[in-house]
Chain A
Amino acid sequence: MTFPDPRNTFCGRTRREFLWQLGAGFGSLPLLDLLAADARRDGRGSSLVLPHGDPMAPKQPHFAPRAKAVIFLFMYGGPSQVDTFDYKPKLYPLDGKTIDIDTKGRGGSKRQGRVVGPKWNFKPYGQCGKHVSDLFPHLAHCVDDLAFVHSMYAESPLHGSAMLMMNSGRILTGAPCLGSWATYGLGTQNQNLPGFVVMLDKTGGPISGAKNWSSGFMPAVYQGTVLRPHGEPILDLDVQEGMSTAEQRRILDALREQNESHAAVRHDDTELAARIHSYELAYRMQSNAPEAIDLASESAATRTMYGLDDPRTQDFAQKCILARRLVERGVRFIQIYSGGNHNDHNWDAHGDLVLNHTLHAGATDKPIAGLLADLKQRGLLDSTIVVWGGEFGRQPTAEYEHGTGRDHDSAGFTMWLAGGGIRAGVSVGATDELGYRAVERPFHVRNLHATILRQLGFDANALSYSHAGLQQKLVGVAGADPIHELCS
């Protein structure tokens, strides 16, 4: 039997070698360019094929990046666009009137609906004159730093699948999340902290839990690490009760001796060396992560700016300050959830819209404005993309016979981005005059993902990972262009 096509290598390496490298080095290996071009040249279908090198070492993207980090403020549950940033003056006088409108939401498809007029007034702000609702008195003053996309749409009007779509680009589980792609593509700048961090709401995780920060078919190094702002920030980070750090150090020294004597007669196995090294990293993480979440050194002015001193905003403020501190320390991708659990614990305002959005906007408005201002004053906003939005928006009409609750709207909703080279003070796309459907320059969630990857230095249509016989991409087989109006 002969093989005319001598491709019997993984780009010159085997699974085992790759796996050495996956664990090996932690920065000790030379930087190697990676990714799509390489994977294409490689042309392999095995799920094992990863580009080479330490998986978390800093890597060069396709082109010069504008942004080094991403802070994704996830408004879980779906904020209403017409009550927040998508100003629809024609909707007010229609309040309470039943009109013909084709909608699709949790409650299925409808042909008619009772309009719920926007419950807040809008006023123009900033040089750009952007209309923002009274829900966001602080954020409204930041509009000249923001870029609004009013014509977002997603493939599902249901939380479970829409969450997965916003996080991983697909409505089915099993695919890696945006944060996984970012760390896979770029590695991390600080091995002593995780590269992809998720902060959950105090009421609980979002539905589908860890699927929302899963690395799917990629190795676990690329999955999100849940970071808690109180107590033990990372699972098992704290030394067990009754053991001091000094005692632990003594044990670690003995462990290293034990491991080194084991490795001495196995000198060609870099995986063993990598594992010895991983204990030193873990040890350093024990001091670095608490330092990263320790706000003691934050000034009173900073605390006030984020709203850390107000019980209403304290929780989200703390996470926003943490996000900034993590960016400063080289963390690549940070996701903060506003809202968790079910029902009115998040933005899912099916019942009383005013109660719900007052609560969640009230808890986040000042912290987000503080975050933007703080990033800006520290010169970090230029290299950090801040993204705001939910898995979808809400319909202009009521869900039920009575009340102000709105059903889900994946046909048109608003997200905004700031920093990281995103063009500021612009608004792109539009929904129809009632705010239901994206009609002008509609953008799929994939376009948003492509935009973020673009700012990080990647062509989303070329950033790929070989799995199950396909060059898998965040933007799928269909591919997607970035939102050019946003990219500078």
Chain B
Amino acid sequence: MRTLPLAVFAAVLAAFAAAAVRAQDRTATAATDWWAYRPLVRPVVPNVGVHPFVRTDLDRFVLHDLRAQGLEPSPPASRAALIRRLTFDLTGLPPTPEDVAAFVQDQRDAAYAELVDRLLASPQYGVKWGRHWLDLVRYAETNSFERDSVKPAVWRYRDWVVDAFNSDLPYGEFLTQQLAGDEIEGGPVSALVATGFYRLGLWDDEPTEPLQAVYDDFDSIADTAARSMLAMSMGCARCHDHKKDPIKAKDYYAFLSFFEGLAPYRPTSGGTGLSVEHFARRVPPDGALAAFEQQRAAFLSKRSDDTARIMSLAAEDYGRLDAVARVQRLRRERGSLVARYALDRSDSSKWLDEVAGQHGLVEGQVVPVEGHRGLGGRFDGDDCVVLPLLVHDSFTITLRLKTTHHGPGREDDQRWFTGTGLVDGEVSGIVRDFGLAWHDDGRVVAGTGDPETFVSGPSGYADGQWHHVAFTRDRGTGRIGLYCDGVLVDEAIGSTQKLDAPPRLVVGRMQPGGAGFRGDLDDVCFHSRALSAAEVFADAMTLPGGIVAAESASLAAAMSVAAGGRPPELATIEVLCARERGATPEPSFVRVRGDARTKGEAVEPAFPWVLGAAPPAIVPPKDGRSSGRRTALARWITAADNQLTWRVIANRLFQYHMGRGIVRSANDFGRLGDLPTHPLLLDWLACEVLERGQSLKAMHRLLVSSGTYMQACAPDDAKFRTDPLNDRLWRFDRRRLTAEEVRDSMLAVAGVINVELGGESVFPPLPPAVLATASRPDEAWGTATKEQAARRSLYVHVKRSLLEPLLSGFDMADTDSSCPVRYATVQPTQALMLLNGDFAHQTARQFAERLQRESSDVRARVERGLWLALQRPPVESDVERLCALAADLQRDFGKTEAEALQRVCLLLLNCNEFLYLD
């Protein structure tokens, strides 16, 4: 066989290669050339001429499209229908008869715009629209699984969402705070609360495979973020490249790695409770810090006056003592003093003890610096001084400290062994030990072991001033006390055993290792008894003549006043939030076939390639607490040129107002989703979101002021034949009330609704039969006052394994995955709930009582009832029907007038017209 000349071979090879490249290009182009991935370009508004339907540019797109199909829009809805539609739409509540009557009367052009403004300004707007977002992020207040335990303070996130809508937080900021509010330097606490977004998912406190469970949570976070903010369905790329969309497993894990720095939920060691330090923080609420600083300044100023007065009184007292008394006093003080490290004559390797020569050994470098009196010692975080176990029965440890550095530990943590050691005798386990430590927000904490007993001081002591600290322990009573600047700040009763577990004491660091103290110490003293409050105060004041003072009544009085003045406490709140494990997360990998244990290729955080963004610029925040990855993600998602974000929110706004999205699959803009029915309109609306400063309220105004929104929803057989699905928006789509609207309207119509905002969720009574489905029926649910039970449905506790039956029966959002569109099922069990249920009957009774209060005879009450329930002027045939019913029930079933009226009210709450909006 003849061999091919090399040149021919090369040419063939080159041709093949070129073809392969072209094929690859084609694939890449096809992949990116999808409507949702194309850059957002403002479309030209179609010219449709003058038409009464056209109220906004939005309508020009719709009308243009209708005409292309040979359709015309419907006439405008009646004013009564319109105000009802709008009031539910913006607040989730029915309008009052007075609102309806006034609006029907007021034919001015401006009346509608004024109504829109009034509803948007109502705080109930946030309650309604916040719920839409909560559906998308699968908001629930428990963790699911066996114990289905409560997520601490999760309701703050719900309140944040409501507030964000009410204050019209620009949409980009709304997303940024949820994704990375904790990384905003000096950001408000509310931004930290927003990161509760990361803590809404499921958590199995007893996972079969712990690592897999951690990755299940990461997956749920990434999936929720991708769906809710980008309408991307990435979940299936967890196991393999997406079958339809150009999302590869590598894309998925690169996206996941934005979140991999987050500290996952973790059980307490050896238990099944939540280990809160991994996902929550204790922080001062916004404004509390300034208030605290004011109070503290006032406290310090008063204290400085007190001190001056006490010093002069003490000097007078001391002056009056004779020599014998002075020696006695000195002896008493010395009598219990075990060791004193004044640090004025110590060298670099030793701390000299002036009392009995029990010198301390310096490890590292404790640098001599100017102390409280004479010299002190400076610790840089890696130094410590080792002392013998100087005390173990009753004792007092006093020292002076000065620092501007904060310690570790969670903000409200009282456990001394999670801080940095000041004087530490910790031995791990529940043993007879003790210690004194420095904590996160500038607080001293101390305690004794077996049983673990803690005392902690107020925060705010990391102020660069010298402070006196004393920790006393009386073995006889077990009482421990903590003093700051001579004032008792906390006390507790603990162990009465000999605290001899630690073989030695360490100053400046915890015994088992960990972070060291950074700051200055001076005058570290040990006494073999618990000093009295007065003695501690005297020591803190360095009164002349030592720690015992107050011979005169005037001095004693002045001291007791000063010792009683407690320093102000900084108020803090618990916040469920994002916490990362540091500035540098572990490397990320593809997890082969979704198995967390099987690491594949290493990946770096990256945006899905198909969207063609530049690689993320990741800058860790200065505080070293987190990686900055999520900030980079937020920046990309909220960038004006992100192809998806603005289309997605525009589509959702359209959906929630008009009943369906321009893209019906609102959580999936990919190839498995639906195509937009009005692609140009969608892009135009997306551009409007940006144009209008990302203000959702501005978008509401635009959408609800459109002729499209204001159309009637009446039937039209000819149009129905052409477009039975109303794809072209030739009318407004009727809708059933949502689960929350059903319950809230019942309460509102009955006149008992409590529209209070915010706070912890409530537990309206559940039928015993529903409670019996829980594995611990007695502990499954809480109780509520009458007022709490009448709160809006948004505030009903969302327990994943035990849902309020009326809300779940009327298709509330699934709690376990992002819910873009509510179902609206029709089931006989719904009819049973409204016909026979306790809540329905109770509400009907309250409704009837209201009618009796507000109107004087049966006919007037029926009319008023129709007005309230249907939110339109009553028609004669309805009035007659219901009056006849009331009469029949009295005549044939022996009901009283009041009972008959209750039945009429029950009927009203069951009407289709009550549950459906035109």
- Measured CB to CB, the residues of A under 8 A from B are 1, 3, 5, 7-10, 13-17, 19, 22-24, 43-48, 55, 155-161, 171-174, 191, 194, 200, 204-211, 216-217, 219-221, 225-226, 228, 232, 234-240, 242-244, 246-248, 250-252, 254-255, 257-259, 261-263, 265-269, 271-272, 274-276, 278-279, 281-282, 285-286, 340-342, 467-470, 477
Contacts and interface: CB of A to CB of B under 8 A. Distances in A.
B370 interface: no
A258 B881 contact: yes
A257 B881 contact: yes
A161 B204 contact: yes
Contacts of B910: 255, 279
Interface stretch (B153-161, B171-179, B643-651, B829-837): B829-837
Contact of B836 (A205, A219, A236, A341): A236
8 contacts: A8-B674, A228-B772, A259-B912, A269-B734, A272-B912, A279-B828, A285-B832, A469-B233
B104 interface: no
A115 to B, nearest CB: 25
A-side interface mostly? loop
A326 to B, nearest CB: 16
Contacts of A269: 715, 734
Given A8-B674, A44-B673, A255 B911 contact: yes
A286 B882 CA distance: 24
Contacts of B777: 204-205
Query: Which of A228, A250, A258 gathers most chain B CB within 10 Å?
Result: A258
Given A217-B817, A340-B775, A268 B720 contact: yes
Interface string B710-732: 00001101001000111100000
Nearest to A158: B206
B35 A251 contact: no
A124 to B, nearest CB: 37
Interface string B760-780: 000000010110111111001
Nearest to B906: A251
Contacts, number: 306
Contacts of A470: 235-236
Contacts of A477: 239
B335 interface: no
B252 to A, nearest CB: 12
Contact of A8 (B660, B675, B724, B841): B675
Nearest to A12: B725
A341 B771 CA distance: 12
B912 A282 contact: no
A441 B769 CA distance: 42
Contacts of B811: 219-220
Interface in B37-64: 38
Contact of B823 (A43, A211, A219): A219
Given A3-B675, A14-B660, A285-B832, A275 B825 contact: no
Contact of B832 (A191, A234, A268): A234
Given A219-B823, A254-B881, A261-B877, A159 B146 contact: yes
B772 A205 contact: yes
Given A228-B769, A259-B911, A219 B774 contact: no
B631 to A, nearest CB: 28
Given A159-B146, A251-B885, A16 B769 contact: no
A222 to B, nearest CB: 10
A454 B136 CA distance: 36
A226 B773 contact: yes
B422 to A, nearest CB: 38
Interface string B633-675: 0000000000000000000000000011000110110111111
B668 A235 contact: no
B907 A174 contact: no
Nearest to B237: A469
Interface stretch (B184-192, B447-455, B802-810): B802-810
Contacts of A276: 912
- The 10 A-B residue pairs with the shortest CB-CB distance, nearest first, are A45-B672, A23-B826, A469-B233, A174-B816, A46-B665, A160-B146, A282-B831, A281-B828, A156-B208, A14-B725
A248 B835 contact: yes
Interface string B880-918: 011011001100110100010001001100111101101
A279 B834 CA distance: 10
A263 B912 CA distance: 8
A391 B660 CA distance: 41
B832 A236 contact: yes
Contacts of A468: 223, 227, 233, 235, 667-668, 817-818
Contacts of A48: 664-665, 821
A1 B681 CA distance: 12
A278 B833 contact: no
Contacts of B464: none
Contacts of B821: 15, 46-48
B769 A226 contact: yes
B773 A200 contact: yes
A204 B772 contact: yes
Contact of A234 (B659, B727, B801, B829): B829
Query: Which of B780, B825, B832 gathers most chain A CB within 10 Å?
Result: B832
Given A8-B675, A45-B668, A161-B208, A235 B800 contact: no
Contacts of B344: none
A267 B888 contact: no
Nearest to B724: A17
B736 interface: yes
B911 A262 contact: yes
Contacts of B204: 160-161, 171-172
Nearest to A224: B773
A226 B244 CA distance: 40
Query: Which of B227, B770, B825, B838 gathers most chain A CB within 10 Å?
Result: B825
A204 B823 CA distance: 30
Contacts of B12: none
Nearest to B206: A158
B207 interface: yes
Given A7-B675, A14-B727, A251-B906, A47 B667 contact: yes
Contacts of A5: 675
Contacts of A239: 836
A254 B832 contact: no
B826 A275 contact: yes
Contacts of A228: 769, 772
A3 B233 CA distance: 21
B617 interface: no
Contacts of A191: 828
A250 B823 contact: no
Interface string B203-243: 01011100000001000000100010000010110010000
